[in-house]
């Protein structure tokens, strides 16, 4: 009766503690399970001593001899307890954290932390059980800081056809000046480039020796300004539009920024809207997106009446 009473009392402590906000940051279920194990062992010894009509001290003295056996039997519990202390002391894991652990196929929210296991509800609504000590011995990714920061990263590149990159002529610059996001940028650059070329007696027609604006550089400035003025982009975190190493798929232009909404559905919508706009506006800068030819492209070439070679 004492075993049942103590077990129910410990369970009631855990149920009450889970109603408190601190329970998500400092779960105590693992520690309560340790208390249960110790209680069961002590009361079990008392029950056995009562049945055998022997002193509990004699039975307790025999536990030293059985320590190796107990260590083997409770190996996972001991490792789990030590791991639980480390996870709690270092604030590595909380209930409600989104974690990724590919080794165990876990990618979702932590819903329970016990003495031996950590339960993760994945995005496909399945539940993965991870040994607690594996979270200390192996590496895992915790997305908690992303939610605390309030910014979710966008890191994606579009591929520009290098054959469409060229210097800007006066007609192109006049057209670009009508774009409010880069009007001031072009004016400053024109003044800077004109001053540089005059100091070195370089004419505007000298494309090699002088400095000139390019359509890819102007487009990069436009995308940067567009992101800085986007109400859904986090302005306190770095916004970078950069070139990556060119390859067989063209010149990668990478957009690196953070949304100010960390919810997955909203994040995907914001990211899609940004790239919808970029893909639609890139042609206004006389640039082309690189795309490998498809079957319809080859069929178009084949049926061109003025192309005898392809026929």
* Burial (CB count <10 Å: 0-12, 13-18, 19+), residue 261: middle
Q: Which of 71-80, 91-100, 258-267 has the highest mean pLDDT?
A: 258-267
* Burial (CB count <10 Å: 0-12, 13-18, 19+), residue 259: buried
For residues 108 and 134, which has the higher predicted lDDT (pLDDT)? 108
Residue 221 clears pLDDT 90, i.e. is over it: yes
* Burial (CB count <10 Å: 0-12, 13-18, 19+), residue 209: exposed
Three-state DSSP at 98 gives: strand
- The confidence score (pLDDT) of residue 309 equals 47
- The confidence score (pLDDT) of residue 209 equals 82
d(CA 115, CA 132): 7
Q: Per-residue pLDDT tens for 135-157?
A: 888 889 999 888 888 899 999 99
Strand order in the sheet with 251-259: 152-160, 251-259, 240-243
For residues 92 and 215, which has the higher predicted lDDT (pLDDT)? 215
Residues 133 and 82: beta-carbon distance below 8 Å? yes
Q: What percent of the chain has pLDDT over 70?
A: 84
- The confidence score (pLDDT) of residue 252 equals 95
Mean of the pLDDT values across residues 66-78? 65
Confidence of residue 306 (pLDDT cuts 50, 70, 90): low
d(CA 280, CA 293): 20
The residue extents of the domains of the chain are: 2-142, 152-285
Mean of the pLDDT values across residues 103-109? 92
- The confidence score (pLDDT) of residue 157 equals 95
d(CA 264, CA 17): 30
Residue 242: which H helix or E strand, with range? strand 240-243
Residue 189 clears pLDDT 70, i.e. is over it: yes
- The confidence score (pLDDT) of residue 305 equals 57
- The confidence score (pLDDT) of residue 185 equals 92
CB-based contacts of 73: which residues, under 8 Å, 6+ apart? none
Confidence of residue 100 (pLDDT cuts 50, 70, 90): very high
Q: Nearest to residue 21, comparing CAs of 77, 72, 95? A: 95
Mean predicted lDDT score pLDDT of the chain: 84
Three-state DSSP at 253 gives: strand
Three-state DSSP at 237 gives: coil
- Pick from 32-46, 54-68, 165-179: least confident: 54-68
- The confidence score (pLDDT) of residue 74 equals 66
- The confidence score (pLDDT) of residue 73 equals 64
d(CA 34, CA 140): 25
Q: Would you tell me how many other CB atoms lie within 10 Å of the CB of residue 285? A: 25
CB-based contacts of 82: which residues, under 8 Å, 6+ apart? 133, 136
């Amino acid at each position: 009766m004492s075993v049942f009473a103590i077990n129910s009392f410990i369970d009631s402590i855990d149920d009450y503690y889970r109603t408190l906000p601190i329970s998500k940051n400092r779960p105590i279920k693992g520690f309560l399970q340790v208390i249960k194990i110790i209680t069961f062992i002590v009361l079990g010894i008392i029950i056995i001593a009562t049945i055998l009509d022997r002193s509990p001290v004699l039975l307790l003295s025999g536990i030293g001899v059985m320590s190796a056996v107990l260590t083997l039997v409770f190996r996972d519990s001991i490792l789990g307890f030590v791991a639980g202390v480390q996870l709690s002391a270092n604030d590595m894991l909380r209930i409600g954290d989104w974690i990724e652990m590919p080794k165990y196929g876990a990618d979702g929210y932590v819903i329970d932390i016990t003495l031996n296991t950590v339960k993760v509800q994945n995005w496909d609504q399945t539940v993965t059980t991870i040994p607690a000590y594996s979270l200390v011995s192996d590496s895992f990714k915790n997305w908690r800081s992303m939610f605390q920061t309030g910014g979710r990263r966008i890191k994606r590149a579009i591929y520009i056809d290098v054959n469409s990159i060229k210097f800007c002529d006066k007609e192109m610059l006049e057209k670009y000046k009508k774009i409010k996001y880069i009007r001031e940028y072009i004016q400053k650059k024109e003044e800077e480039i004109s001053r540089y070329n005059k100091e070195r007696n370089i004419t505007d027609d000298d494309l090699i020796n002088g400095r000139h604006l390019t359509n890819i550089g102007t487009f990069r400035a436009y995308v940067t300004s567009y992101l800085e003025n986007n109400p859904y982009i986090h302005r306190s975190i770095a916004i970078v539009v950069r070139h990556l190493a060119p390859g067989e798929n063209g010149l990668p232009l990478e957009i690196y920024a953070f949304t100010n909404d960390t919810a997955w559905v909203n994040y995907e919508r914001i990211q899609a809207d940004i790239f919808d706009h970029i893909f639609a506006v890139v042609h206004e800068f006389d640039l082309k997106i690189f795309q490998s030819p498809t079957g319809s492209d080859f069929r178009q070439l084949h049926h061109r009446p003025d192309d005898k070679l392809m026929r």
